Amino acid sequence: MQQTIKADTGWRIWWQLTRPHTLTAAFAPVFLGTMIALTYGGINFPLFFAMLIASVLIQMATNMFNEYYDYKRGLDTEQSIGIGGTIVRNGIKPKTVLNLAFMLYGISVLIGIYICIETSWMLALVGVLSMMVGYFYTGGPYPIAYTPFGELFSGVVMGMLLILIAFYIQTETVTTQAILLSIPSMLLVAAIMLANNIRDLDGDKEGGRKTLAILVGRSNAISILALFFVISYSWIIALIIWGHLTPWALLIVLSIRKPAKAVTVFRRYLLPLQVMPAMKDTAVTNTLFGLLLGIGILLGHLI
């Protein structure tokens, strides 16, 4: 039985176009990186908010590039599950989506110039590389999203790198502790992409993609997703045991039901619409983990 997907209307069209469930992948690492920096001194709030806004805008633009190129390559249809397929369902002109994405990139560049003026122009190179990854994730002749390396690139750039940049603009250095604390974020951002690819496995296979989920198979992909979760939580516990963090970091266990539910749903159901809650729980895991870890670091510093 074919499922009917209801089209969005009004402002919801544009809101869904940003793929809001992925925006936490930009917010949580910036917050966490800033909280780590707080243990080394004060916080420059204008730089914090500039970094946060630029990161969210780049994520929005990346999502729009994804929307545009999925449409151009025929991957999105009116029956597409989730918030992809806005162009085909709601009649937005493809060129409008592409231009809007470049406009968001332009605003991000202006914010980036301010950040570089206040810190270091070395960040300009890092920012350009990050934006290139965002564009070539689905754009260009050899999209990253069509390869088994999508999770790697998204995890490193939107997870680890965002934390280290947020940390650097506050401290003008990168420490071993900051790198160690960025590992779980890298894995959890990669988990968001992996969850998306597990959901879209059949459609991506028909579209010619060679994602990690397709390469290893659905069951193994779910096992890898579970492994990402296990390593992320175990990593923080290990850092507590080794004395790199205070026990306040154990606040992360308050979020552990979300990844458990995500894995359970993926194991139990097959249809894309049925596993949408698992995708949401994966994204929420990234948000809660980053927020709780950041709060735990803050409390460990103040108390």
**Does residue 167 lie in a domain region?**
yes
Q: Which of 266, 294, 288 is nearest to 167 (CA)?
A: 294
Q: Give per-residue pLDDT as tens, 44-55.
A: 999 999 999 999
Predicted local distance difference test score (pLDDT) of residue 1: 39
**Does residue 19 lie in a domain region?**
yes
Q: Give per-residue pLDDT as tens, 127-145.
A: 999 899 989 988 888 889 8
278, pLDDT greater than 90: yes
Q: Which domain holds residue 159?
A: 11-302
Predicted local distance difference test score (pLDDT) of residue 9: 54
We report the CATH number of the domain holding residue 232 as 1.10.600
CA 172 vs CA 72, 76, 108: distances in Å: 42, 43, 21
**Does residue 5 lie in a domain region?**
no
Number of domains in the chain: 1
**Does residue 1 lie in a domain region?**
no
Question: Whole-angstrom Cα distance, residue 297 to residue 59?
Answer: 26
- pLDDT, greater one: 232 or 76: 232
**Does residue 188 lie in a domain region?**
yes
Band of pLDDT at residue 77, cut at 50, 70 and 90: low
Predicted local distance difference test score (pLDDT) of residue 31: 95
**Does residue 6 lie in a domain region?**
no
Q: Give per-residue pLDDT as tens, 172-202.
A: 999 999 999 999 999 999 999 999 999 989 8
284, pLDDT greater than 90: yes
Cα–chain center distance at 284: 11
Average pLDDT over residues 3-9: 48
Tokens of 79: 């029956």
Beta-carbon-side half-sphere exposure of residue 223 (alpha carbons within 13 Å)? 5
Predicted local distance difference test score (pLDDT) of residue 8: 52
Mean pLDDT of the chain: 89
**Does residue 4 lie in a domain region?**
no
Q: Which region holds residue 91: left if phi is over 0, alpha if psi is between -120 and 50, else beta?
A: left
7, pLDDT greater than 70: no
Q: Give per-residue pLDDT as tens, 197-239.
A: 999 898 888 878 899 999 999 999 999 999 999 999 999 999 9
Tokens of 257: 């039901």
Question: Whole-angstrom Cα distance, residue 19 to residue 202?
Answer: 21
149, pLDDT greater than 80: yes
Quick check: 284 and 258 in contact, CB under 8 A? yes
Q: Which residues of 127-165 are buried (b: 16+ CB within 10 A; e: fewer)?
A: beebbebbbbbbbeeebbbbebebbebbbbbbbbbbbbb
Q: Give per-residue pLDDT as tens, 248-271.
A: 999 999 999 999 999 999 999 999
**Does residue 226 lie in a domain region?**
yes
Question: Whole-angstrom Cα distance, residue 303 to residue 299?
Answer: 6
Q: Give per-residue pLDDT as tens, 24-40.
A: 778 899 999 999 999 99
273, pLDDT greater than 80: yes
Predicted local distance difference test score (pLDDT) of residue 89: 62
- pLDDT, greater one: 114 or 77: 114
